[in-house]
Amino acid sequence: MALPARRNSARRRAVPAHSPKHAAAAVRAPANPRRSTAVIDFKAVEKRYDVGAIGLDQASFSVQRGEFVFLVGSTGSGKSTIMRLLIKELEPSGGRIAVAGRDLSEITRRRVPYYRRNIGVVFQDFKLLPNRTVHDNVAYALQVTGGSRKEIRAKVPDILRLTGLSTKLHNYPDQLSGGEQQRVAIARAFVNHPPLLLADEPTGNLDPETSIGIMQLLYRINKTGTTVLVATHDHRMVDKMRRRVIELSRGRIVRDEAGGLYARDESTREFAARLRSDAPVAPETMAVEAGRMTQRSIAARADEAARSAEAEADSARAARIARRAARDAEAEAEAAARAETAATEASRS
């Protein structure tokens, strides 16, 4: 979705500083359109917490209008920190963050709620209102931004059709599956057609088949022009969609790759070499590494490693089952051998 610049600068200055229109300009119109075309622009951003932990360390990247970008990395790598900085839930310790060319440090606390109205946010835990229907959960996003009844009647049915929820509009959240609840959350985030949509682990609590549907929905939203930034651990979805991938580790950006996969090629090759060697590998290490394998890796060996790691997760039980199966197989083999011997002797006599 294009982020149009205001044509009448004098009229823009006449808008009160505390109004929703003034805050909306922080997302929809760059202060200087010639300076940057990026929807998101991080320059040497740092975030250090009071306990001494590092959230981000000199992170620099930009996201252009209409891009679909994945943020990947282990827990604590900085993905959620980026999301929280973008919605001004956190303030950076250093560096500069701009959205649509507007420095976020210029947005006062009073104007933050208005700024957030122009960013759609999808959470892992849905954050739906339990006492409201699907229709009313989505309509609520319009109501808080001053949407009229006419606007609600026009927009809500459209977004429910887009998200495949037309038959669920009168259901309550506890009557929906996890995937349907996430679709409601996405519908609510997109009903205002924001220029930027942030999704923090949108498939984290969903099964693989449902996750595919959620990612396809985000892709359709992206095709309307909305810039989409997704923080995820779901390597299957990242590898399937082949979009831009920004990888973080300990607060630093270690990879920024167009059409990327979840894991680096060099890490894949390293793990493949370890699988082929006789060196012992801890089960938990195998599970983590196997989860990072990609289509360009030795997929069959990765599956084998994952199965081995899962079996060893409860090693005592697995060992008992294996020993019992071996004893049963040995007993059956001995019984078969005895029967064969007896039959041979009987035929001779």
Q: Quick: pLDDT tens for 32-59.
A: 544 557 999 999 999 999 888 899 999 9
Give tens-digit pLDDT for 54-112. Answer: 999 999 999 999 999 999 999 999 999 999 999 999 999 999 999 999 999 999 999 99
pLDDT at res. 285: 56
CA pair distance 192, 142, nearest whole angstrom:
7
pLDDT at residue 299 tops 50: no
Q: What is the total residue count of the chain?
A: 349
Q: How far apart are CA 227 and CA 194, in angstroms?
A: 9
Residue 300 predicted with pLDDT over 50 = no
- Tens of pLDDT, residue by residue over 186-215, are 999 999 999 999 999 999 888 888 999 999
The enclosing H or E element of 279 equals none
Within a domain: 94: no
Two structure tokens written together for 284? 């938990």
Q: What share of the chain in percent tops pLDDT 90?
A: 57
Give residue 181's pLDDT. 94
295-317 average pLDDT score:
46
| Residue 278 belongs to a domain | yes
The pLDDT score that the predictor gives to residue 38 is 93
**DSSP labels for 73-95?**
-STTSSHHHHHHHHTTSS--SEE
Answer yes or no: is 303 within a domain.
Answer: yes
Q: Looking at residue 267, what is its pLDDT? A: 52
The three-class DSSP label of residue 149 is helix
Q: Above 60 in pLDDT, residue 175?
A: yes
Neighbours of 167 (CB within 10 A): 9
Report the b/e string of 64-89 with b at 16+ CB within 10 A: ebbbbbbbbbeeebbbbbbbbbbbbe
pLDDT of residue 281: 55
Per-residue pLDDT, 340: 72
Mean pLDDT of the chain: 80
> Which pLDDT tens digit goes with each residue over 280-289?
555 555 555 5
Percent of the chain with pLDDT over 70: 69
Domains of the chain: total = 1
Q: pLDDT tens-digit profile of 235-257? A: 999 999 999 999 999 999 999 99
Q: What is the per-residue pLDDT for 2?
A: 46
Task: Provide mean pLDDT across the span 305-328.
Answer: 54
Instruction: Specify if 236 maps to a domain.
Output: no
In a domain, 272, yes or no: yes
Burial class (CB in 10 A: 0-12, 13-18, 19+), 51: exposed
Confidence of residue 326 (pLDDT cuts 50, 70, 90): low
pLDDT, residue 123, reads 86
Residue 293 domain boundaries = 265-313
Residue, of 333 and 44, whose pLDDT is higher:
44
Alpha-carbon distance 283 to 267, whole Å?
A: 17
Task: Name which of 122-126, 168-172, 248-252, 315-319 the model is least confident about.
Answer: 315-319
pLDDT of residue 282: 57
Question: Under 8 Å CB-to-CB from 280, ≥6 apart: which residues?
Answer: none
**Residue 85, domain member (yes or no):** no
193: in domain: no
In a domain, residue 304? The reply is yes
pLDDT interval class at 325 (50, 70, 90): low
Q: What pLDDT, on the 0 to 100 scale, is given for residue 21?
A: 47
Q: How far is CA 315 from the centre of its chain?
A: 32
Which pLDDT value is given to residue 311?
45
